[in-house]
Chain A
Amino acid sequence: MAADKTTRSETFPSGIASVGLGEVEREVPLDDPPPLPPNAGLAVIGKSVPRQNGRAKVTGATRFTVDVTLPGMLHGRILRSSLPHARVRALDLSAVARHPGIRAVLPVARPEDPVAALVRYIGAPVAAVAAVSQSAAEEAMRLIHVDYERLPFVADMDKAREPAAPLVHDAASAPQGSASGFPAPRGLPLNGNVRGPASDSRGDAAKGFAEADIVVEGEYRTQVQMHCCSEPHAIVADWRADGVTVYMSTQFTAGVRHELAETFGLKLSRVRVIVDGMGGGFGSKSTLGAYGRIAVALSRQAQAPVRLVLDREEEQMDSGNRPGTWQRLRIGARRDGSLTAISLLSYGTAGVALGAGVGNMAQALYACPNFTGAQHDVFINAGPGCAMRAPGNVPGAWGLEQAIDELAERLAIDPLVLRDRIDPSAVRREERRIGAERIGWQKRHAPGADPGPVKRGLGVAQSLWAANVQTNSACEVRVMRDGSVEVLSSVQDIGTGIGTVMAQTVAEVLGLRPEDIALRIGDTEYPAGSPSYGSRTTASITPAARVAAWRVLQSLLREAALALNAAPGDLIARDGRILVRDEPGRSMGFGEAAARLRTDRISAVAARGDDYGGFRRRMEDAALAQQDLGGVQFAEAAVDTETGIVRVERVVAVQDCGRPMNPLQIESQVHGGVVMGLSYALFEERILDQHTGRMVNPNLEQYKLAGAGETPAIEVVLLENYQGQSATDAYGMAEPATISTAPAIANAVYNAIGVRLRSLPMTPAAILAALGKIPARS
């Protein structure tokens, strides 16, 4: 074994910096770099480096997909169903085809096909055109004649569960899979409009409840939330004889490239996907999507570039959403707080699609020997849901973290003390300690204790999220003969500033400044990078960037070693110079060393290796790290008990992400997560008119998002949690940052007024109703 050893042993820092660091031994591949010291010992990584594209963004120079114009570009538009459920008996495209401005016409609904003839929600695509101008495309919409046969529909989850409810799908059209988020096992039963249950259990829940001294039980509801990306879904598809180039606002250039190749029967080498600036995605831009396929098909037909940008109404009706859920949670505990059993029953709806589970919060957050869970998806005639920032665990936390607070109160144990007893995570224990101190937990009073109509309260909630890694993420680092450096990957900057983090990583290795590193990202011409979803981008791409930089540095050091008359192994790169480790006087500039290169440039490509300590689970090109991510958030809320208005005054968010690579950018992510969670807690809701199945607030006026006026003071504390698992030991946090906000606010509201809100959003009407202030109607 010793003879062909491909790894070496290394000692890594390990543990939580604020608690005290220890060491861990890991086997690492021979050509991986040495362990990275804790942030305190680094020059660039772990520092708050401003994002490289910040100036371009705030001055309007950034080019978003909506800004792309190509010569001869056409404008696409989709005709959408105005009925929630109908059979398209006839689709007459003859008039539109004669319109002089129309260059391509595409039927989407197909009357001749028993499945494709059906539209199942308002906003479902029926046909599409490409026209010489936007107004011609809009005119064309009025020239398409659709003969619909109306079918009965159902737009409410509870009604859809009734035996006599109209069926949204039949066995052939109903999507397969489970309610438990992802991955979705196929083959779950379909009963009317209900798919499931997806079941999970351990121990013996019945026995556990029998052993309990106290059982709390509650029903929790969450509304449908929309993604509301500031940049709409947008694509410019340019089909040519030699292949297709697609400019697209996407969270995964490399994935869209694969989808395009498969959908249109092309070799990967003939497909290129590009995204420059991006205005958010939150899960709704993970795939090519129906509108993407339509744009490419129109471009192929017209033999010209086609631009397709969804308007806000299309965004709200047909670009995905966070499914609505209902769950019943029962938790049994002994007097000392130890949990004896948890049972979870959930129904959720992602409209015509699947994925409306409540995640794994109840299963996995707390130590409990007995668990039983059954989750179901309910189909209704409404736009399809899709992944949205921490899918599943956001509604999951809404229930679980309130139930745990309720249990704490019944046991007369402080909610933090109870969590100390039942939460096995050392990371969250430290996060609770830090957060409690920051928010001033000791001043928390009994529920409803404030005198006067405006009552204040403090609340806490925790989060759990798997640390995802995309194992096929790759990155290239190039050093040019003039000393300039490039980092290249198809990974896209969804708005988080990942490019800047890559520049920091490479700069740290090469002894340069982050601004010395040129970024080439968001283009599948470069090595395939990771998707920007599942909070995995930093975890996946930064180790590859460090390894590639390390390897290219070794080549450069070999050149420098000749000039400095030293062994390459004795050289280090620091402060823009290459120097001999123990004799810093013997050195040369980085550029001088580069000038000695034989060729114009040297380069190395590296892929994300496996976590040094191994993964917990692997799924094709993705994997789960051993240790989960999470965080603890504290909220302080003021409730006006006369008007029902809730104002969140302060949020303290203590989050972990392994090694924090760039605190400034991570804080921005946490701010975004908190505001999104607050907005979910208090304002947002897709409202469907029950008589017509139409969303009545498909805009950003009546669909209410929290604004600057509603944003609380947000304090972010980042844990440094080292595990010695990769070349950077960095993981994600964008999703956990939004999981616990709403339940923390709900627990604060309870602490303020002594009444528990179990349904979202907590509008003034809901608060006044909970307080018993709304008179019964006569």
Chain B
Amino acid sequence: MNRFAWAHARGIAEAAAAASTTVADAMAAPPGAGGDEMSIVKAGGIDLIDLLKENLLVPAKLVSLKDIPGLDGVVEEQGGGLRIGAMTTLATLADHSVLRRRCPVLADALRGSASAQIRNVATLGGNLLQRPRCWYFRAADYRCLRKGGGHCFALSGENQYHAIFDNGQCAIVHPSTAATVLVALGAAVELANAEGAQRQVLLEDFFVPPHRDVQRENDLKPHEILTAILLPQLPEGLRMAHVKQGERDSFDWPLADVAVAFDLDPEGSCKRAAIILGAAAPVPHRARTAEAALRGRRIDEDTARQAGRAALDGAMPLAKNAYKLPLFEVLVRRAILAAAARQ
């Protein structure tokens, strides 16, 4: 790891002005480009320091967001939604009384991510912006497509942890577990730039699939700070569940995770459903055919099973990850039944 300078921003605009580039832009640039000037935003640093240690990124300066007032915490908003500061740690959120009351599924998903030590440091904003875990991406020896090179090593290589959907160019899976749940709930992100301009984007649209740009996972712009995650008011009686399966129970990303949310009409038929698969595709994957399979139907073992099968629509497994098909099929079924069982 090389030496770098260190700055504490006091305000959002100051931080945005100081951050010369995003990690994605910096890593896609040809080696050596922008080296002397490059300054990058740091939240908890769990992902960022990893990239530095592997010499994947050689910034001249890190700009810490820790001292910016008002960037953490959970606020219940007028309209019934929740505003989560980007700098709130996963540990804080996992135990937060408001979040536990209003959205226990998200709190539980965060509690089940990474490990206790990591959750104490990692922030929700950093979690959504973390870079993928593809082992070729993480090794400096491989200058792959996503890092500005010309070739994906995973497609014909070791792809057991890679994507089964949308994997034609680059087969990463999106690494954020929180994102699976947040997309299912229709969350948005709030971003601010150095001029004080703000924008809000639906999280689902904020993520960038490979065909739009293979070198970034999201639409964060240079000189932009992620300030908050906005959860809309959840309809009365919304049924939700998140299930995940890792090889190990902790200190590990899931092999597959599924978030479902649906509401029922008075007759018990499904009105709307969201079914999102994590660790399945380069961005959180909306299983549209499975959503359609629930709509208008009563939720029982049979519908859940059909939705599980429908969730695989469009899947194209690689040589070593076909096991994810039966895994997602069962997790979708289990998630639907778990949500239905909740009152």
Contact = CB atoms under 8 A, between A and B. Distances in A.
Question: For the side of the interface on A, what is the size category?
Answer: 20 to 34
Interface stretch (B80-88, B135-143, B184-192): B135-143
B250 A773 contact: no
B153 A689 contact: yes
B306 to A, nearest CB: 16
Contacts of B317: 777
Interface in B215-264: 245, 247-252, 255
Contacts of B322: 774-775, 777
A598 B1 CA distance: 61
B185 to A, nearest CB: 25
A696 B157 CA distance: 10
A774 B323 contact: yes
B53 to A, nearest CB: 9
A189 interface: no
| Secondary structure of the A contact surface, majority rule | loop
Contacts of A645: 245, 247
A206 interface: no
Nearest to B320: A765
A710 B252 CA distance: 12
Given A642-B326, A774-B323, A709 B158 contact: no
A82 B143 CA distance: 14
A138 to B, nearest CB: 8
B199 interface: no
A696 to B, nearest CB: 4
Given A82-B141, A689-B158, A768-B327, A707 B247 contact: no
A696 B247 contact: no
Contacts of A768: 323, 326-327
B251 A683 contact: no
A707 B250 contact: yes
B116 to A, nearest CB: 10
Contacts of B160: 765
Contacts of A687: 158
A58 B157 CA distance: 43
B248 A704 contact: yes
B156 interface: yes
B3 interface: yes
B178 to A, nearest CB: 19
A135 B153 contact: no
Given A135-B2, A645-B245, A704 B252 contact: yes
Nearest to A643: B245
Contact of B139 (A135, A696, A763): A696
B331 to A, nearest CB: 7
Interface centre among B133, B135, B136, B331 (most CB of A within 10 A): B135
Contact of A644 (B1, B157, B248, B327): B327
Contacts of B245: 643, 645, 764
Interface string A757-775: 0000001110011000111
Nearest to A765: B323
Nearest to A773: B326
A774 B325 contact: yes
Nearest to B255: A764
A86 to B, nearest CB: 14
Contacts of A707: 248-251
Interface of B: 1-3, 133, 135-136, 139, 141-142, 153, 156-158, 160-161, 245, 247-252, 255, 317, 319-323, 325-327, 330-331
Given A687-B158, A702-B135, 9 more contacts: A642-B330, A694-B139, A708-B250, A710-B248, A710-B249, A765-B320, A765-B323, A774-B325, A775-B326
Interface of A: 82, 135, 138, 642-645, 682-683, 687, 689-692, 694, 696-697, 701-702, 704, 706-710, 763-765, 768-769, 773-775, 777
